[in-house]
Structure 1
Amino acid sequence: MTEIPQIPGSLPRDPEACLVVDHRAQVLAFNDTTQRWLRQHDHASGGGRPDTLLPVNLPALVRACLQQDRAIEDVESRLGDHTYLWLLVPDQAHQQVMIRGRDGTATLAALDEATRASRLYRLITENTTDLISRHAPDGSFIDASPASWRLLGYWPEELRGQRLDQVVLADSLDQHLEEARVRLRDTGYATLTVQMRRRDGELRWFETASRAIRETYTGAVIEVVSVSRDITARVNSEENNRRLAQVVEANTDLVLFVSRSGNISYMNPAARSALGVEGQSLPPLSAFFDASELQRMVSEGLPRANESGVWETETRLHIHGGGDTLPVSLVLLSHPAASGQPYYSLVARDMTERELREQEQRRHQEELAHTARLATLGELASGIAHEMNQPLATIVNYANASQRYLKQAGDNPDALARVQDGLKRITQHANHASEVIKRLRAFLRKGQKRTAAIDVNDVVTTSVRLCQWEADKHRVAIQCQLAPDRPSLTADPVLLEQVLINLIRNAIDANRERHAGQPSRITLITRHRATGEGQSEILIEVIDQGPGLDEEGLSQMFAPFYTRKQDGLGLGLSMSRSIVEGFGGYLEASPDDGGGLRLYCRFPVRLASATDTDD
């Protein structure tokens, strides 16, 4: 092989890589920086050839540069974990092109992360029903989400620059603010409950979760982002539960006194009215619950209530004597008795109004999901480029080979057969590239949410394809155990794909944390599970081999801003749970026997039989 000379003059000392190529894209000379880059990629650079650093379509770029007599900027090439950006400058007099390159790996990674974070924050603040606000270190408002009008009676622009004491009661502020500042300074995360005054003078209780945004180099808190949820109804309910029996009678919440065996001894008027119970005879608790939900309350709720005094969940109660159900926020309270055996009360709040509100807001959800998918696409860009590069490179190879055989057609009778075979293979790989594009367009399509009966196995398979390259990169094998009876449910397939992609990518990160540089496995399972009395549900499970979570982590993992990742916002699982609940399902987590984490989506089978489609 003829040795390629280095560039003379001052260019060898240039901190950027410099190469000179002729009109056929053959390297004529290069400088010391280019040689240093080659040594960094000794095994991956094809034996130290400088052209392996350059873009794969270099010949086409050189032709365009010389023919159009213009410079071409920021052309990417990838080698190993590095991304290089190249500038091509034509030299028409010598029919050569000067190529200068810089290492853009860190710059591009930082830009992708900043873009994703900005989009995600904007989408959440514009579409959530909770109040999301930004504050200066002294507590004054920098900005607020549109929910401020509904919750506080102030438009966002009216709150900007206002002090906290404009809306937070002084007693509540003095009691909790200093403690919150210390937690934000020390741990970066704080929760507090405060009382706020609406513009019309009404007092409301809010539960606020806050996260500190720090200056990169000094670590000083420069901004605080908060999510505030109106919990006035819950606070009032807890107060009412401590009052005398006559107060319970007047309570608008549903109050039931039950025994451990499931017998109901008392229902307040609100419960009788909402659940359709008349007369002195009271039905058993099983008359108001699905068998699976009743079993969950017995196996999970009772032990938790006995331990801490209270257990909370959200479920649906059946109307007695009818087929309708009532969405409620349910509180199970355990009360110690003199005999030593606890007795229980159920306090249920009718969430019908919230469901109606959520249905109204779902028309905005597609915009949120579409932009979130764009952010996801940015993170998966390397995998997509890899998947597109393979068929395109193969097409180029077969096209070049076919051209050579066409030139030999006069002397070689077999040449035309080889050309025909090459064209056939070109068609196959072109179709493969077309399928990749179709999958991306389906994932990124923008429009109103559409629900239909979908094949769960197909949605899982599509989601795995979009994450496959990232999994392969980190030596994570994705194993699918799909139900042979191909379960189906009514949902938006793109939104469900978005949830599964988030769960799979979280599992990949968990495996990387526990098995850095080592092979590991993620398991995806789809199946039916019987829940009793002829009822069943569809499960989609994602099981990782990561470090898992303790009890505190499991209880907080779906809360906004809770994350163990240094660069994470803690919003992915919260958004995913909202999407699953929007389809009437449940997103939950539990420790896996292998030490990792098991996340599963549960969909009652009654959803799968629905035939309605939202246009």
Structure 2
Amino acid sequence: MTSTRTKPLPATAPRRALLQWWRAWWRNLTPLRQERLAMLAPLVAVFVFLAAIVAAFAYLQLEESEREQETLQRDMEYAQQRVRLRLLERQEQLMRLARQLALHELAPAEFENRAEEFVNQYPELQALTWIDAQGRIRASFAAPTLPGSQQRLAGERAGLDAAAWAQAQQQQTVFTQPLATAGQPPPLLQLLVPVARGRQFQGAVLGEFSNDSLLRYGMPPRVLARYAITLLDGKRQVLAGSPMTSSVSQVHFLPWKQAKASEYAIQVSPVGYGLVLRAQAYRTSLGVVGSGLFWLVGALSLMTTWLLVASWRHTRRRLRVQEALVAETNFRRAMENSIATGMRALDLEGRITYVNAAFCQMTGWSAEELVGLKAPFPYWPDEERHLLSEKLKEQFSGKNASGGYKMRVKRKNGTLFDARLYVSPLIDAHGQQTGWMTSMTDITEPTRIREQLAAAHERFTIVLEALDAAVSVAPLGSEELLFANKLYRQWFGAQADGHLQLVAQAGKLPVAYSSVGDMDEEDGLMGLPADALTEALPDHAEIFLPELGKWLEVRSRYLSWVDGRLAQMVIATDITQRREAEEQAARQAERAQSVSRLVTMGEMASSLAHELNQPLTAISNYCNGMLTRIDNGQLSEDMLRTALQKTAHQAQRAGQIIHHIRAFVKKSEPQRVLADVSKMVQEAIELAGIELRRHNVRLTHHVAARLPPVLADTILIEQALINLLKNAAEAIQQAQRPPAARTVELRVLPRRNEAGEVIEFTVQDSGKGLPPEMRERLFEAFYSTKQEGMGIGLNLCRSIVEAHQGRLQADNIYNGTEIVGCRFSFWLPVAKPAEIASNTVANGPSTRTVA
């Protein structure tokens, strides 16, 4: 039986396979990638070497920091033992002194002598105090250096911490540290040793230590020289020593890295208060000078890296230039083939050396057919060859128009099109001219559009010239006139004075905004300078020009002119005829009001005659009576005076009636003044009461007290009230109500509605109300249900009320489903403070209510 062994593969086989794979992979890479990888290997080696140096120095620095921390810990433990033993020695000495006091072996004077010995012998001990059981000082001695505010006097209260004093009363030795007070010297460390005999508490011995002296004399000088030592309390507040101001004191050998200073803290036991010693090392590293080797290695590594990078960048720059040249050539070729502008190159002899695809497509001739030809070229029209030859000679002589020139080009199929040619010299790399480059653009479509635009502009100009309004455009802040139509030139000439005059006069009037701009969802002035616009012109104003004798309606709009400037367009329309018609309508309305008042007086004529007949009859009777008594000799002086007084009273009564009637029917211009509502209502009642008594109608009225004034024409408001009261009496007469139900009620009260503070006038009758068909046409002009009515009473009432910014309305009064009367009401707005002030200045402080 034979056994066979597999022969192991030689160790070189995997290595050879790996090498072959590496070579195949390297050959498959592009030259650019091969260059990048070849450059990457030295850079990686340099950075690995630099990283190793940094790691080594960091390790050394870490070892050094750990050794320094261990040294700091050992030194602080030794210092802590020194301070603790020093405090324990002082504690034992004070305990012996307390036992002597408990045995009454020391008097206060002897205690002060012993205290002086202790204070002079131990510099950290600043004061010794003997305190009795009630907390009063029996004897005390302090060092001369102790401030007066911290010294204790015999007979005073000790002022100790309550918790520490309680522990002392329990015969416990305790350390305590008073709280620091702003503006006072630093507090002293206090040691309170109880004085007791048996279980009887007799007081305590208080020893006060200076924290600075304790730190200065208790710490070894070697530790103080190497570290910044501070003494802290239980709350980590500094009691003595000077901590390092900067939290960074360790200078690392790496310039970009700094470490925190080595620090160690340890408690000073067995002090019960919890004093802590903290130390901070002044220096924990060798610094920059001690790390010179690192800086040398780093500088050499950076120099090597810089050389490698500079070489690699130089190679890369050459490759980029080559790639850019190829890309630029391909780009220009693609651009020439894609644009619609034909390109043609001529040499100095006028021979075509190059044409692009667009030029061939435009003319219909191929590049092979055109290259090498000289003038005349086949794409020249036959009838224009002589002109184009002259143009070509001008080009060769250097007389080229900056805007090019226009020519007609013939295609290979014989059709013609318009083109514009631009010519520029061809300059080689040495600055020498080698020929001419011509670009040709087909302008057939732009020429057609330009002609259409010119025709549209002409039509637009004709429309503007035919308008019956003056249109002008001028830039803001300038006296230049950009546009003016025919009517503007007829009125103001060809200068901007008329435009500026319209802007100036319209800008002084109150703004009357039109509703045209409300249709836009966005602000039409968005993005424009607000200051110039708001001060320029209202949107809509009506002005009168004396030099033209016309009323003009002026409208404006801000627009961006074709050159980008902000301009203002003003449209002035002649509205003279409209204003004259409005004025005539106003005069007719005024005459209608006067006629209405005269008609009202005519209807009240019989009642007025009756009213005047009473005082006149009385006057006649008084006169006849006095004559009879004179004839009979029975008239005394007292009787004569009484009769004359009654006669004068009746004459005044008749005169007042005539005065009221004259004021009511007198034709005058409307005059709105501050009116007293109570007086105005009273005068209307006196005039209307005559008509109400004629119809046997009883009038009840209520006027609220202290009503504010209104800005109104008193005659017009009285006319409205009289019409409403007279209509109410006539409605009751037509309804044939019994005498008990023939009442009209007038109420005047203050109200508040959507218009603000108003005065409401209400006239309520007991008639049959308003039928539905009458309510629809109640305020219609010349509509009346009376046989002899003119139909202008209620229409005038509504016009008068609305002219005073008020509202008039009518409602039926119901009792269940039955109509038992009608209520007419209207309100007038209360005069505002500004209106009261302006009216007072204009008309004086008094208020005139009756003309």
Scaled by the length of structure 2, the TM-score of the pair is 0.30
Q: 1 or 2 for the larger relative contact order (CA 8 Å, sep ≥6)?
A: 1
- Larger Rg: 1 or 2? 2
Scaled by the length of structure 1, the TM-score of the pair is 0.40
User: Is the strand fraction higher in 1 or 2?
Assistant: 1
